[in-house]
Amino acid sequence: VYFLSFLKIPNLSYLEV
């Protein structure tokens, strides 16, 4: 969450956490 909190990823098509 910390890592994702400051990222903006407009073209993301796949996410696995």
C-alpha dihedral sign at 3, 5, 16, 14: negative
Q: Provide, rounded to whole angstroms, the least separation between the CB of residue 4 and another protein.
A: 8
| Chain-centroid distance, C-alpha 10 | 9
x/- contact string, 1-17, with another protein (CB under 8 A)?
-xxx-xxxxxxxxxxxx
Rg, the chain, Cα only: 8
Q: Provide, rounded to whole angstroms, the least separation between the CB of residue 11 and another protein.
A: 6
Q: Provide, rounded to whole angstroms, the least separation between the CB of residue 13 and another protein.
A: 5
Structure tokens at 11: 């073209």
Contacts with another protein, residue ranges (CB under 8 A): 2-4, 6-17
